[in-house]
């Protein structure tokens, strides 16, 4: 079970790590100017986030209120401050679609996610992709690997 979890974690890290921009170093190893750092970051226009509860940052009720319903049903329990929303804001993308949903598995990329807590359905996550999507982040695998069951068995 631990091996499955570690394998899933390695996949997630390998998918997310390349998306983390590095600041260019200036003379004597100092950080470059703000202008140099800004010009080094690619300009994305259309960003789609795919994933499960780890990416959705599942929330029932917190300081930001109820889950975000702008991109997915309330059953998906998307946080208002999940990492995809922070990425979209930091990059200033023009179009953002967040398909992340609690309890999602890889099959929910191409099949609707039915049977959500209040009866909602999250459409297939791939449906949010278009020909003009130029940035996609993926964070999935914990539910496929049985992460929740493994965590509960440790209690």
Side-chain-side CA neighbours of residue 55 (13 Å): 30
58 band by pLDDT with thresholds 50, 70 and 90:
confident
- What would the DSSP string read from start to end of the chain? -HHHHHHHHHHHHHHHGGGSPPPPB-GGG-B--HHHHHHHS---SEEEEEESHHHHT--SSBTTBSPB-SSS-GGG-B-TT-HHHHHHHHHT-SEEEE---TT--GGGGTS-B---TTS--BPPGGGG--TT--EEEEE--TTTTTHHHHHHHT-
User: Is the model's pLDDT at 149 over the cut of 80?
Assistant: no
Asked if residue 37 is part of any domain, the answer here is no
133 in any annotated domain? yes
Residue 29 lies in a domain: no
In tens, the pLDDT along 20-42 reads 454 444 455 555 566 656 566 67
In a domain, 26, yes or no: no
Range of the domain at 136: 2-16+45-153
- Per-residue model confidence (pLDDT) at position 38: 59
Our count of domains for the chain comes to 1
């Amino acid at each position: 079970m631990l091996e499955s979890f570690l394998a899933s974690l390695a996949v997630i890290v390998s998918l997310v790590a390349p998306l983390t921009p590095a600041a260019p170093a200036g003379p004597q190893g100092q950080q470059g100017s703000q202008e140099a750092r800004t010009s080094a970051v690619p300009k994305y226009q259309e960003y789609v986030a795919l994933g499960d509860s780890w990416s959705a940052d599942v929330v029932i009720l917190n300081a930001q209120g109820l889950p975000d319903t702008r991109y997915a049903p309330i059953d998906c329990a998307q946080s208002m401050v999940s990492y995809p929303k922070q990425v979209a804001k930091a990059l200033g993308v023009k179009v953002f679609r967040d398909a992340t949903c609690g309890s999602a598995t890889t099959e929910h990329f191409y099949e609707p996610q039915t049977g959500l807590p209040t009866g909602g359905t999250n459409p297939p996550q791939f449906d949010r992709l278009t020909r003009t999507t130029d940035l996609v982040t993926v964070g999935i695998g914990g539910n496929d690997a049985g992460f929740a069951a493994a965590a509960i068995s440790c209690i």
